[in-house]
Structure 1
Amino acid sequence: MGLLDSTKAKAAALKQHTLTVYFAARDPRTPWPVRLLALLVAAYALSPIDLVPDFIPVVGYLDDLLLVPLGLALVVRLTPIEVLESARERARQASGKPVSWPAAAFIVVVWSVAVWWAARWALGIFRA
């Protein structure tokens, strides 16, 4: 197993854990402090604002590589077992669903039209 395969496997596992935490946070049996922690972990993972900016070599990505997995692990540890099992099953089902290529194509077309329209509008302003 090469480095690329190992990295892909770890990325897939992280995606699976993130989905599990997402479904656990939405479960009403999850205590509200754990739900709040799951929300904070997800917000930090998805936020463009970091504690240490990513442009700082090594340390910039180190906070993402440590804080997000540690936060996910803490949420998993604090979540009741029955909720966690249910969330893992829902995450397995969700990750096995097919990708909607027509929906993706629709989004690409909408963005392409928006960019085309914005470019024409911008060029029209500069011609005047």
Structure 2
Amino acid sequence: MSEGFSASFSREEMEAIRKSLRDEARFGADFMARLKRVAKRIPFTEDLLAAWFCTRDPQTPRRVKLTLLAALGYFVLPLDAIPDFMPLIGFTDDAAVIAAAIAAVAGSIKPEHRERAKTAMADL
């Protein structure tokens, strides 16, 4: 895990992430609803799910959870560097944020998180 990871979120984005994460159940519902709407159009759906399952694991360190939740929050929130409705490039910023977060905490995403993600893919 890279302890030096820091994301460049604007003040507004950080406040929106904090607000969204305050209600964990609502955040989870928002995340899954958004993922179901776009799952077929994005190639990193399985990574999103693995990150989500990692955040739900009580053994995952708090710093890892916060890093992943910030990235997942960026995916869920309507604030985007590149609007998601743009064909072909709409999810590139989301993919970059998720990839950076996963790279920063890769050792904490366990094989069982990835297995749960594969299983959950069938339900999307």
TM-score normalised per structure 1: 0.51
Gaps of 5+ in 2: 1-38
SS at match of 2:42: helix
Q: Name the residue aligned to 1:21.
A: 51
Q: Give deviations 1:10-38, integer Å, cap 9, x for gaps.
A: 934x0001000100110011001100111
Greater relative contact order structure (CA < 8 Å, 6+ sep): 2
Judge conservation of contact 1:21–1:87 (CA < 8 Å) in 2.
yes
- Partner Cα separation in structure 2 for residue 95 and residue 53 of structure 1: 25
2:117 counterpart (91, 95, 117):
91
- RMSD value over aligned CA atoms? 3.3
Query: Could you say what secondary structure the match of 1:41 adopts?
Result: helix
Equivalence for 2:61: 31
Give the greater-gyration-radius structure (CA).
Answer: 1
CA distance in 2, matches of 1:93, 1:62: 25
Paired residue secondary structure (2:110): helix
Please list, as runs of the form range in 1=range in 2, the aligned pairs for 1:1-128 lying within 5 A after superposition.
11-12=42-43, 14-50=44-80, 52=81, 54=83, 63-75=93-105, 77-79=106-108, 84-97=110-123
What is the aligned residue count? Answer: 83
- SS in structure 2 at match of 1:16: helix
Describe the shift of the 1:24–1:61 C-alpha distance in structure 2 as closer, same or farther (beyond 3 A). closer
Moved over 6 A (4+): none
Q: Residue 30 of structure 1 aligns to a residue in which SS? A: coil
Could you tell me which amino acid in structure 2 is paired with residue 48 of structure 1? P
Name the one with the larger helix percent.
Answer: 1
